[in-house]
Structure 1
Amino acid sequence: MIKRLEFKKIISSPIILGLFVLFLLFNCFLIYEQSSIRNDMKSIHPIVQETGTLMDNEGSKKLQISHEEDLNTWNQLSQSKTGDTYQNAADFYKPELYYSLIESNIYSEKELQDINNLAIKETYLNSIQDIETKYSTLNVMENAEEGIRLFGLEGAVAETVREQYSVLKPRVEELIENKEHLHLFFHGKMFGTHSFLFKTLFGFMLFQGMILIVLFTAFIVNYEFEHRTALVTYATKRGRRLMWDKLLVSTFASTLVTVALLAITLSVYFIVFDYSGLWNVPISTGFLIELNKIPFISWWNVTFIQYLLMSCGLVVLCHILFVLITFCLSMLIRNSYIVFTLFGVIFLAGLYVPSLMPKDSTMLLYTHFSPFILVMNVKKWWMESGVFTTFKYYEIITVTGWLIVLLLTAWLLIKRFARENI
């Protein structure tokens, strides 16, 4: 009954509900803005149905034959209309030819879509050799040394970075042996789906959930103090145990809000963008490489759907950490507005502290094991993610360590509150 009443305080708050709806609308707007590429993205589905996703020798030959057949069909059409033929689809888009053809309305919308799909298929075909070359020459130890030079790392820090990348090296060899890098996926340089989904959308959902969580956790923990009913509510032993109820309700509400944000936003995303046939593609595929040309190297051979679920689970855990941080602050400070402000200060401090560490001290690496830095790099969760956070179990260590410390702190504060003179 008490927990239900505490939960009712949250769901009856117009600010919480209003922000939740506003955040969902904002996420839908972001997806709508990106939706212009959805038709081009769909061009991969006929390819996958025809050739499968694995672009090894057999798969690439199938794609080559399919491309030649489609190009021959297009050349027959173009020759009948303009007398021109093309060695590849890209030639059709040369400015000196393309704009005059468009202005003359020689080709129908469907025919223009056909040549566009052919050009995209050609891009996938041309990318296969580039990906094989990229991964055959990939040397993660060189990447480590480059990062060490870039950030001026020295001594124990530099050695630790080298050790972690040496642990990553066998994983790269396994990745290439398994041909994970040769599986078709939405082309990263054309569409940037990984950055949009895991950096933009997940990033916004992390911060949206964090704002809601800090607000309602501080609100219900300080409710009695701010409404001047604390002397009555906490006059009994059961009243003093109310803080446990508030912590449990905040954690439950955090999970509920996070799951709702993820479920609704991702449902809209996957309705707009069709991932059929690609759910089981390895997340380390070379086709995901974006304009920065940095490959995505996961620590384990996981598929896209597995990676998505792992990331969703980590979002839930990060939000629980924010519940605990806010709860501990609220137990020390009896003002929701100050708690909210102080949480923001702590968050910014957590991002700034590593820059104060000496470049030759391992404290520089240890200070990166924080939820504040973790949520800033969602795009590279469970992957090689730069010299400061490339540890095989970085996400697990960070969440587990902070969870233990914060739970212990919350328990001590509740025990102290039970004996405190209000």
Structure 2
Amino acid sequence: MALRGTLGDFSLTDILQLIGLQRKTGVLVLEREGERVTLGFDAGRVVSAESSSRPTEHRLGNLLVKRGKLTEARLEEALRIQRDTLKRLGHVLVEQGWVDHETIRRELELQMAETVYDTLRWRSGEYDFRPGERVDWNREFVRPIPAEHLLMEGARMVDEWPIIERTIPSRDVIPRPRPAAAEILASVGSAPESAGSIYEQDIDFDLIPQDPLAGERSSGPKGLSQAELRVLRWVDGRRTAGEVADLSELGTFEAFKTLVRLVELELVEIVPPEGDGEVPAAPRRPRLMARAAPARAAGLLVALAAAVGVVAALHPLAAAAWPGTPRLPLPATLAPAQAVSAAGHLEAIRAAVSRARLTRLERALRVRYLASGRWPRRLEELVEAGLAPARLLRDPWGRPYRYEPIDGGYRLAEAGPIPGVPGPEVRERRLAPGPGAPGGPAPAP
């Protein structure tokens, strides 16, 4: 059964989650405003990604030439061989000994991930998933990427893009080196190959290292990381931000994020393309970009905890256990510990957890609808389908959430009010009528 519909009803995140959970094999076609993206899946893993706006084969050859890893003459010869033999360009380049296997693999996988990340930012368009359709993918150079991994990375990027865009509003702006940058580059000479982006590191919540900043320190001048040096070496005042990102081999998101850091360090300034207006002024230190001194390590943990209101509740406990604990600056939305009782703290935490559970239940409901073409009759169906753990069906006070299917959608609500806590929260969703069903998109015949 194929699935068709619009991204206004179900986000690409929902669709990828469904494909990943059910280990689907097939082709997902996404279209909007003349742009077409085709994603290939094998057992729930992404194995190919093609965009009509930037064909993989075309970009591969051009990027290798721009980075100095391939001459234009050899590229032209490789393209001639490709036309004669119908082999993929990567195979031709490796067979001729002009580019090594690892370089081709890394570039193809980066382009594949970049295509998926770009589509995760789409807010409109149409989708068409064709399960079982044969996927022709490059098994020699591409390692399948689990959809769940792309979803986790993509969610982080979508959250941080608005902050990056305050400084770099488009790929066409031009980063220009400032005098201090020239001094740094002169002291390091040609930059060595980077081992990868510093932002690719995951957080292990079971083990907090004694020195959380150790992985980000660099022996480079001014304490710059290898990623920052790698980006800085391509900034010449003529290349656009997009070209710098392509040459850095870090990917657009990581390269732009690194550029923002260089702007903060006053090593780079952003200027508009010739003939355009001014680039919007960026905040002196965007919230997610700052990572100065030890505040970055502490701030990361604080931000994670503050999402559910834990910091305000636990800081007094930490102060009692360790008298030397410094006062942490809390978000303005959190009341000072002195003004809120311990009981109030706990209720606020429970309320935040309850809202988070409602959001997870909504995600599971949408995935269930995509898989079956109907809304569940009861929440327990989500547990039976493996989309949610049983504990998610009750709030932190132990009360079951209220759920009922309604015409073309559902209503999901907390069980009732709690003294001192705003609510109860009610979530209601109705789908706009779509092809094949009065309540929204449905499986196509």
TM bin (shorter chain): under 0.3
TM-score (norm 1): 0.22
* Structure number with larger C-alpha Rg: 1
Higher-helix-fraction structure: 1
